[in-house]
Structure 1
Amino acid sequence: MQFGYSEVCLAHDPGSRHPETPDRLRAIRERLKKKHGVEYVEADPCDLDRMAAVHDREYLESVREFCADGGGSWDPDTTAVEETWDAVRHSTGLACWAVDEALEGATGRETPFSIGRPPGHHAVYDDAMGFCFVNNAAVAAQYALDTDEYDVDRVAIVDWDVHHGNGTQDIFYDREDVYFVSIHEQGLYPGTGAIDETGEDAGAGTTMNVPMPAGTDDGEYLAAVEGPIVRALTDFDPDLLLISAGFDAHRHDPISRIRLSTEAYALMADRLRTLAADVDAALAFILEGGYGLDVLADSVAIVHETFDGREPIEPDSDCGENAKSALADVAEAHGYELELESED
C-alpha cells in the first residue's frame, strides 16, 4: 500500500497520559519497516476553505486561534498545543491525498492509506470532541464530490472504529450523496449511533448504524460486513468508498470491549475491497483510533499485507444469537430481511 504520512502530525502532542499520542504513528512506521512494498508519501496541507466545505468557518477559525494562543483543553478529552493546527491541516491534507490517489486509479498494492493524526470522525460540523478537531474523512469525501475532474456523484464511508463516528454522521445526516456506515460497540463513547438513526430529509436511509454488543468477535463483525453493510452499499453503488479505519475494536485495545483479533482487520479489508471492485468504486483508507500501540501497528500491517497478496484466514466462529439479533434489527431498519445462520 501507499501510506500518506507527515512528520508534522507528530507535533500534535496532547500529553504523556493522553491515549492519542504521537507514538501511535511511530509504532505503525516501526512495524511497517518489516513489510515489503511500503511507500510513504507526504501531501500538501489542507486549507481552511476546503475544511469549511463541511465545517462551520467560524468554528475552524476559533480552533486556529486557540492553537495560535498555545492551545489547552478544548474539552476534557480533546487537547491542543500550538502545533496542533498545522497537524490538523496535514492530517486532513493526507486524507485528501488518499482520495486523489484512489480516484486516479491506485488499486491493489498501490491502494492509499492515510495515517495522519489527530483523527477526525468525532468532529461535528461546529465543534471538536473525542480527540478530533476536523473530520478528515468528511473533508475528503466532500473534496471528491466537489472536484469536477473526478465526476463523483456518490461517496460511501465505512467507519469500523470501535466508537460511533458521530461527527461524520452529523455532517452528512441529511445528504443523499454520502452513505455513512458505522459499526461500533453499543453504548460506548459518545453514546450515539442507535440503529434507528438512519438519516433525515434527503438523507433518509443513507445512514446505517451497526451497534454491536460487548464481547462481539471476528465472526460476528464479518457477518455485519457481509450482511447489512455490503447489501446497503451495493444498492447505493458509490463511486468512492472511504474506510474510517480505527483499530480500537481489537481485543487487546485498552479502551473497548469488542473482541476482534488482528486477523479480523484483514478479513474486513478483504471484504470491502471486494465490494469496491464489485461496484466499481475507488477505495481509500483513513486512520482513526487505536490505542494499544502493538496491536494498532500489527493491525495496520495486516491490512497492508492483505493488499500485498496475503490471503486472510477465515474465522472459526459464526454469528452468535446476540449479534444475529442486532444485525436483523439493522436490516429491518433499512427495509429488508437478513438471514444469518446461528452457531451450532
Structure 2
Amino acid sequence: MRFGYRDACLRHETGARHPESSDRLRAIRRRLSRLHGVEYEEGSLATREALERVHDPSYLDEVEQFCADGGGTWDADTVAVGATWEAARASAGLSVWAANAALDGHQGHDTPFAIGRPPGHHAEPDDAMGFCFLGNAGVAATDALQRDDVDRVAVFDWDVHHGNGTQKMFYERGDVFYASIHERGLFPGTGHVDEPGRDEGEGSILNVPYRGGCGDAEYLAAIDEALRPALERYDPDLLIVSAGFDAHEHDPISRMRVSTEGYGAMTRRLDDLCDDLDAALAFVLEGGYSLDALADSIAMVHETMHGRDPVETDEAVSDRARERLDEVREEHGL
C-alpha cells in the first residue's frame, strides 16, 4: 500500500497521558517497516479553499489563531500546541492525497492509506472536539467532488465512536453518503438509527449503533447486510474508509471485540465491494489507542491488500445485533 505520512503530524503534542499521542504514528511506522511493499507519500497541506468546503471560515480563523497563540485546552479532551494547526492541515492534506490517489488508479497493492493525526471525524463545521480539529474524511470527500469524474462519494466509518462531525457535514446534502458502525453509548452520543439525513441528504446517512461486546461476526454482517446494499443503491465513485481501530478487542477505551483478523476480513469485504461498484478505495486513519493493536491492525489491512486471506470468524451474530441490523434495514428499506 501507499501510506500518506508527514513528520508535521508528530509535532501535535497532546501531553504525556493523552491517548491520542504521536506514539501512535511511531508505532505504526515501526510495524510497517517489517513489511514488504510499503511506500510513503507526503502529500500537501490542505488548502484554505479545501477546508472551507466543510468548515466555517470564522472557525478556521479561530483555530489558527488559537494555535498561533500557543494553543491550550480547547475542551476537556481536545488540546493544541503551536504546531497543531500545521499538523491538522497536514492530516487533512494527506486525506485529500489518499482520495485523489485512489481516483487516479492507485488500487490493489497501491491502495492509499493516510496515516495522519490529529484525527478528524468528530470535528464539526464550527467546532473542534474529540481530539479532532479538521474533518479529514469530509475534506477529502468534498475535494474529490471537484473532479469531473466524481459525482458521489461514500464514507464508511468503522471507528468505535460515531463520527458526528462527518455526519453533520453531509446530513442535508446527497453527494456524500456517510455510514458508521459504532458502539452505542460512547462519546459523542450521536449516530442513532433514526438519523437518516434530511432534505437532499434524506437516506444518505446510515448508522449501526451496536451495543458493546460485538465483534467480527457483527461487523461483517453489518457490511454484508446494510452497507453493501446501501452502497449498491447509492453507487459511489469513491469509498473513503474512516479507519479507526479502537473497536479492537484489546483497545483500552471500548468494549467491542473486533480482532486483528477481523479488520483484515472487513478490508477484504470493502475491496470486493469496490470492485463490484467500480469505485475507488482509500483509507484515512481515525482512532485506535492500543499501540500494538493499532499497528498490527494496519499491518493486517496492508497485508490483505497484498493478497493475504484473513481468517474469518465462525461465530454467529448475537441476537441483539441481529435485532439492530433488522432495525437498520427497515429504516433504509434494504
TM tier, smaller: over 0.9
Deviation at 1:214, TM superposition (A): 0.6
In 1, Cα distance between equivalents of 2:172 and 2:186: 24
Displacement of 1:316 in angstroms is 1.8
* Partner residue in 1 for 2:107: 107
Letter in 2 for 1:186: R
Equivalent position to 1:177, from 152, 175, 178: 175
Q: Map 1:1-344 onto structure 2 (within 5 A).
A: 1-148=1-148, 151-336=149-334
- Superposition misfits of 4+ residues, deviation over 4 angstroms: none
How far does residue 190 in structure 1 lie from its aligned partner after superposition?
Answer: 0.3
Q: Deviations over 1:279-314 (max 9, x none)?
A: 100110000000000000000000000011101111
Q: Normalising to structure 2: TM-score of the pair? A: 0.99
**Paired AA for residue 302 in structure 2:** H
Mark the runs of 5 or more structure 2 residues left unpaired by the alignment.
Answer: none
Query: Aligned pair count?
Result: 334
SS of equivalent residue, structure 1 residue 184:
strand
In 2: Cα distance, 1:108 partner to 1:318 partner: 30
1:259 is paired with a residue whose SS is coil
The CA RMSD over aligned residues, in Å, is 0.7
Shift of 1:335: 1.7
SS in 1 for 2:230: helix
How far 1:147 moved relative to its partner? 2.9
Amino acid at match of 1:310: R
Kindly state the Cα deviation for residue 193 of structure 1 after the two structures are TM-superposed. 0.4
Could you tell me which residue of structure 2 aligns to residue 340 of structure 1? none
Q: In structure 2, give the amino acid aligned to 1:272.
A: L
SS in 1 for 2:178: strand
Q: Distance in 2 between matches of 1:21 and 1:15?
A: 7
SS in 2 for 1:25: helix
d(CA) in 1 for partners of 2:215 and 2:315?
8
**Percent same amino acid at aligned positions?**
59
TM normalised by structure 1 equals 0.96
| Structure 2 partner of 1:341 | none
